Structure 1
Amino acid sequence: MVPEVSEHQVLGASDFASFLENCTYPYYYGENESSSCCDYQPCPQDFSLNFDRAFLPVLYSLLFLLGLLGNGAVAAVLLSQRAALCSTDTFLLHLAVADALLVLTLPLWAVDAAVQWVFGSGLCKVAGALFNINFYAGALLLACISFDRYLSIVHATQLYRRGPRARVTLTCIVVWGLCLLFALPDFIFLSARHDKRLNATHCQYNFPPVGRTALRGLQLVAGFLLPLLVMAYCYARILAVLLVSRGQRRLRAMRLVVVVVVAFALCWTPYHLVVLVDTLMDLGSLARNCGRESHVDVAKSITSGMGYMHCCLNPLLYAFVGVKFREHMWILLMRLGCPVQRRLQRQPSSSRRDSSWSETTEASYVGL
């Protein structure tokens, strides 16, 4: 889901009058030039355009710094324990890499929102594809973690117990392959295009509205609904089993992964609801008017920022909720010579091959 230039961003008064007089440009971003431009009259929504220019560069820059530092720390902690990584830790390592790669593209989109796209069509395709690959990867990897926990606890099946490295590696290869497949439209249809209405160049899709609707449908199903349904089902069954067994320690061990899933739902649900409303307006199912367009454009900017914030939220959750993660982080800082040695000497460290974020060593049940 490449950060979208608002489809209804608009012009000054003279440009708007010229547009209505000549009717030479398509109404939607990314439409073919042969599209009829007079089917709709564009709304002069200077507020949403100015809001994006002021809001998005600051937000993207902040998320870039926090996401890179946080996910870099997670990757460093997990790699420091790579000889003892369980399947969940391996998925978490890939998740941290996906989040870090996603936030690496945000400075480019910040420049695009503040000024225009100045990096050419080649980088437009790469940045858009990289963004979407890691957007899908984050959701699918969380689904993989939940399914692995479901098999382990509900059915007492350790999918990755025998030949764990090969099976985990194969699963991750499949996930990244699917994400690359989902990002093919970015390689094909994204390009740096000069928009005469805005007198600026932006990284945009070059296909008709039906293509944009289909791509949004793919993002909604493959990048949100399907992973969320898998996570919700798996953890509902897991919690039911743990509650019946009254395993309080195991319930505490599940706390972090449940919090991560809830954070995913809270961060991305508002954005997809807003995009659904915008899509229904494009399809004519909802009446289009200038006030509604302006509200939807601003809502997309705010809710997309909430979604991208999820990339920075996971490391904070690990640090504040995951006891084992904090312990391994202190150990890593001590090895790097940071002034935390005395505190670490008073903290017990586990030598067992359990996960870097677990609150229990009952790996046969939780493995977190």
Structure 2
Amino acid sequence: MDVVKAGFIPGNISHETVDENQNSTDDTWCHYDPYDWIFTVIPVYILIISVLGILLNVFVLVVFWLHKKACTVAEIYLSNLAAADLFLMSPFLILAVIAGTKYDLHNSKIMCKLIIFSVSMNVYCSIIILALVSIDRYLALVHPLTDGRTRTPFHAKVACVLVWGVCFLLNVPVLIYREVVHDPEGNFTTCDFNFPSPSMFLAFEAFSVFIFFIPAFIISFCTLKIVNALSGTLKKRLNAQKKEQKATTLVLVVLLAFLICWVPVYVVSILDLLSRVNVLNGCHLVNNLYICQHIFYSLAISNSVLNPILYVIVGKTFQTKVKELFMQPSTNLSRHL
């Protein structure tokens, strides 16, 4: 059975090119001496991001869930985004320990699957939820006279349940085909895909890129229309929709932060995919992709910490909810005194 490995390996880089005509792989191992910061700075960084991400996203969920007022459609989407960030951060505490051991994945088959699954679930859920909230803001501001019955909290909750279900199904291959793979000489291990055929691997990689960029296109389209509406001919009409504008401002900032953090990761993924089909090749390129992957993934996971901070700084309605939530116990206490 042919084995296709995807990903980068500390110490050496596994780079197997795929020849579709021969339906085989050209196993080429590019030697690489990694920089020390990959195994010193990054583990500490991941640990800090994980702790902050868990605390801040739990705080966001507590505010949304315990506040006396029901969540709006936008807040339902943003709370699910916080849940996706929390889902991502949870196993990263263990990843920080693994990173400190130079990603020694011996006997770590479960963590191999779990960490990659959490990352993939976070990206898929986040980008699709952001596309949904972009469409909601687009309808609310650009087409406010459309039938509002489709923009209800109930429909938003149903949409989020469907998103989580679909994203889980899309990531089943991660649970099946991610394996702890040993290099030919047995010097190190890595967490790579182990597909039965090269074509399956290429199809999965291409589909992953497709899943990211289609919602990104929807987000970009809706964002341009929203920005045009906020600054153009609809300005007078929007003056009567201050609440919608506040929610939209927060959503736009969160969208921008997500795209800045995650687009570089998928650009590297596209370059890696091109190198595997021999459009681009060379160990120098693979080495650079290895470095870029560590840098860009570190930037990407910081998005899960950035979102709650943006809610507090930009989200005026969220700020009000926080104040009201923490005033509730003191108010109830004063009534009994």
Answer whether TM exceeds 0.5 for this pair.
yes
Q: Give the superposed CA RMSD.
A: 3.0
Q: 1:10 aligns with which of 1, 9, 12?
A: 12
Aligned length: 313
Deviation at 1:300, TM superposition (A): 0.9
Q: Percent identity?
A: 27
For the 8 Å contact 2:74–2:133, the answer to whether it is kept is yes
Shift in CA distance, 221/134, structure 1 to aligned 2, threshold 3 Å: same
Matched AA of 2:233: V
Q: How does 1:1-368 map to 2 (within 5 A)?
A: 6-7=8-9, 9-10=11-12, 28=16, 39=26, 41-47=28-34, 50-81=36-67, 83-115=69-101, 116-117=104-105, 120-156=108-144, 161=149, 164-197=152-185, 199-207=187-195, 208-222=197-211, 224-242=212-230, 243-246=232-235, 247=238, 249=242, 251=245, 253-288=247-282, 290-335=283-328
Moved more, 246-255 or 293-302: 246-255
The superposition leaves residues 268-302 of structure 1 with CA deviations (integer Å, 9 ceiling, x where unpaired) of 121111222222111111131x3322211101110
Matched AA of 1:321: V
Deviation at 1:259, TM superposition (A): 1.2
Task: Write the distance in 1 (CA, Å) between the matches of 2:271 and 2:90.
Answer: 29
Which residue in the other structure is 1:349 paired with? Answer: none
Shift in CA distance, 281/5, structure 1 to aligned 2, threshold 3 Å: closer
Shift in CA distance, 131/271, structure 1 to aligned 2, threshold 3 Å: closer
Say which structure is richer in strand.
2
The superposition leaves residues 119-163 of structure 1 with CA deviations (integer Å, 9 ceiling, x where unpaired) of 642443344323322221111111111111212222225666479
Shift in CA distance, 54/214, structure 1 to aligned 2, threshold 3 Å: farther
Matched AA of 1:134: N
SS of the residue 2:8 aligns to: coil
For the 8 Å contact 2:12–2:31, the answer to whether it is kept is yes
Shift in CA distance, 137/66, structure 1 to aligned 2, threshold 3 Å: same
Task: Write the distance in 2 (CA, Å) between the matches of 1:245 and 1:155.
Answer: 10
Task: Write the distance in 1 (CA, Å) between the matches of 2:278 and 2:184.
Answer: 26
Task: Write the distance in 2 (CA, Å) between the matches of 1:41 and 1:52.
Answer: 23
Task: Write the distance in 1 (CA, Å) between the matches of 2:245 and 2:264.
Answer: 29
For the 8 Å contact 1:67–1:99, the answer to whether it is kept is yes
The superposition leaves residues 10-37 of structure 1 with CA deviations (integer Å, 9 ceiling, x where unpaired) of 29xxxxxxxxxxxxxx8549xxxxx988
Task: Write the distance in 1 (CA, Å) between the matches of 2:175 and 2:27.
Answer: 30
Which residue in the other structure is 1:363 paired with? Answer: none
Task: Write the distance in 2 (CA, Å) between the matches of 1:43 and 1:127.
Answer: 25
SS of the residue 2:144 aligns to: coil
Q: Which runs of 5+ in 1 are unaligned?
A: 12-25, 30-34, 338-368
Shift in CA distance, 148/187, structure 1 to aligned 2, threshold 3 Å: same
